[in-house]
Amino acid sequence: MAELTSNPVGKNTPRVDAYEKVTGTAIFTDDLPFGPGLYYGRLVRSPHAHALIKSIDISKALEVPGVKAVVTGQDFDTRIGLYLVDRPVFAKDRVRYVGDPVAGVVATSEDIAEEAAKLVEVEYEELPAVFDPVEAAQPDAPLLHPDLGEYKVANFIFPEPGTNISEHFRLRKGDVEAAWPRCAAIVEDTFRLPHIQHVPLEPHVAVALWEPSNQVTLWTSSQSPFAQRDLIAQSMGIPHGNLRVISPYVGGGFGGKAGVSMEVYAVAMARAVKGHPVKLRMTREEEFIGTTVRQALVAHTKIGCDAEGNLLAMETEYYFSGGAYNDYGVNIVRAAGYSCTGPYYIPNVKGDSYCVYTNMPIGSAMRGFGMPEIHWGIEQIMDQLAEKIGMDPAEFRRRNCVKTGDIILTGMKMPAIDLVACIDKVTKAINWGKKEPPSAPHKKRGKGIAIMWKAPAMPPNPGSSAIVRFNEDATVNVEIGAQELGQGAFTVVAQMAAEVLGVPYEWVRVSAPVDTKYSPYEWQTVASRITWSTGNAVKAAAEDARQQILALVAKHWNEDPANLDIKDGIVISYKSEREQPLKDMVIYGLPNENFEGWKGGPIVGHGKFMPTYVTNLDFETGQGPRAVVHYTVGAQAVDLEVDTETGQVEILKIASAYDVGKAINPDLVLAQIEGGAVHGMSSAFEALKFDERGRPLNPNLVDYRIATAADAPREIHGDIVETPLEDGPWGARGVGEHVMVQTAPAIANAIYNAIGVRFNDLPLSAEKIFMALQ
């Protein structure tokens, strides 16, 4: 059990006294760690998609026994945001989507807070709403953020004040207009993807304590403890040293727990009841529309090739529905812009990527970060071009995919990768080119392929740091600020530390939970960057500790450190064949002759990593020497059956292969491939639905159906390609998000191969397929 260090009113930071033996996580029984002084929060949300707030009357809510405070936008004259500071803590002058929080109620129980929230009276004046991003981008569309020009914004994001366009990324390479006449085949089409939700099993939960001393602690399930500390501190006027964020293991993230979503409300409510922690928990319905969603997309894309199958030109416009607030979404759209060709070498490109405010839930980070959205159209067009010139779709991709050393669309030289090897592996795995019979006369069988690329989408200078320290028995504590999401990050960094230090893996412990007061800094656990970035920091910290050990023993033995090594926790000399166990010496040091003094002391290694070479891109052309740190590439092939009597699709096999640079832990890579295949498959059939007034129609797990074990493919095949990355630890690069990027278009291509019908809009529902067959 955990207990309070003092009275629940005042300094009542919980102390953990019991730990689960395997994971090392604290055991919390219900709300006991926070004591009887714990209060509960509920949010009052807008019923309108777009309206002015004329007045808020909280008097009736305050009269309810057990209600301790009600906070509104009038209490906070500030905004919050990551790349674009555009979101008020609580809506103040207007609401911009159904579910926009306008007030927070704090009470002694969740039920009381819920009932009191219903008594908050808000007078609205409805305004015209806009839900489609193309319509919202028009000059005469209702304006959602009249003050856009006044918002603080990152220097690589370019909003267009006076419009609903929060980011416009331009890509210009070569001469597109001159290239079209040289094309033997051209495909032009429009593709649409709906909003979808992350659907973590664990909903968003946060507990905040604002002490009378103005020390603030936030406990939350988060991918971004340090970013949350930074953004909330700036928004709420809290010195960074006074705000502590503690984040245990995350019960499902997928990008939905990156940045700041609902956590700031818990802090805001805690400020009103100083000395009492306030717990805010999202219901499943709130999770769907009150946190964040994947942005919807309308893509107009045109691509052409010559008679030999060489891609010549591409022109595309991406309109992302960023929702009501775009603080994170603008960078998704930027990433889509500088990667707009997909994993292809195309000499002439014109791309425009727009993030557009709409009266929809907040669009933000989701696994893939814009790449599943843009690959949906690109990968179907590639199949159609191959068909037009009579070339096999896999061979068409081998010919045109990016290769090591290519000068890609931004002017950057492509780092070392082998996408052709990925294509070869997946086509072999599903017997590509062999027509196989369906399982029944009323079913049709088809195969499809799609390839992908994705770079870590982030600022040019996101840092990682790590500390490695020894215990008396030579076991090792690795301290990092990166989060464990179930992807195996802690396992991988433990392997890295063990490898460098020369100790058994079992000797290494990774400290948890992440605590911004004690953990080394980490930008965020996003962008599939932890193996690469945090891995480099851990490797550097372990090397620092290793050098200290070897220098100490070399001095003790009067030998050259170059002749020493560490094996299984013992320092050995290849010259004198002497041995020195790490036990005790890594804390107490080594004695001088006749114990006349000592040398050494506690071994603590420090490491950091930050890319220093990413450059700005030209505002007009998107060109620059180094747009991103690197790309991960991969391929997927799908074998499926379509039931012509029902439209139902059954995925028989998904084969995936990714170039991971170096698989530090092959089992974990294959686990990512398996999970990503199911996640990507599920995304092809999911959609958040809204009525004509922007109200959600399926914000629950009954009406919003995700793939279950029963829907999983009969077989999931994974392959690993290893082309070392120049600055990756042992050559490794990330592969967490990439594994679902191209699944949906691979399925669509396989459906076309089976029944001869193409689908430009997701989801691929059985009803839609059945009606097309008629």
Which residues form the catalytic set? 737
Q: 604, exposed or middle or buried, with CB in 10 Å at 0-12, 13-18, 19+?
A: middle
Q: Which of 756, 744, 702 has the alpha carbon at shortest distance from 192?
A: 744
The two tokens of residue 445 are: 């069988």
Q: What is the CA radius of gyration of the chain?
A: 28
Per-position b or e across 517-533, b if 16+ CB within 10 A of its CB: eebbbbbbbbbbbbbbb
Inter-residue contact 713 to 647 (CB < 8 Å): no
What phi-psi label fits residue 596: left (phi over 0), alpha (psi between -120 and 50 degrees) or beta? beta
Q: Which of 515, 554, 564, 566 has the alpha carbon at shortest distance from 226?
A: 515
Q: Which helix or strand (DSSP H or E) is residue 724 part of?
A: none
Cα four-point dihedral sign 762, 766, 767, 770: positive
CA dist., res. 416 & res. 532, Å (int) = 15
Q: Which helix or strand (DSSP H or E) is residue 80 part of?
A: strand 79-80
Cα angle, residue 202 at apex, residues 698 and 69 outer, rounded to 5°: 85
Beta bridge partners of 571: 566, 580
Enter the DSSP assignment of 738. Answer: G
CA dist., res. 753 & res. 774, Å (int) = 17
Q: Which helix or strand (DSSP H or E) is residue 185 part of?
A: strand 185-193
Distances (CA, A) of 117 to 55, 71, 96, 106, 729: 15, 11, 20, 9, 51
| Alpha helix stretches (DSSP H) within 476-565 | 489-501, 535-557
Q: 606, exposed or middle or buried, with CB in 10 Å at 0-12, 13-18, 19+?
A: middle
% helix, strand, coil for the chain, step of 5: 25, 25, 45
Residues in the chain: 774
Q: Which of 192, 134, 296, 302 has the alpha carbon at shortest distance from 761?
A: 192
E strands present in 116-161: 121-126
CA dist., res. 632 & res. 513, Å (int) = 29
Q: Which of 763, 569, 613, 603 has the alpha carbon at shortest distance from 682?
A: 763
Beta bridge partners of 655: 637, 717
CA dist., res. 447 & res. 749, Å (int) = 7
The two tokens of residue 132 are: 């489609």
Distances (CA, A) of 357 to 73, 353, 360, 610: 21, 13, 8, 32
CA dist., res. 735 & res. 737, Å (int) = 6
DSSP per-residue codes, 389-430: HT--HHHHHHHHB--TT-B-TTSPBPPS--HHHHHHHHHHHT
Enter the DSSP assignment of 554. Answer: H
How far does the chain reach from its first CA to its final CA, in angstroms? 62
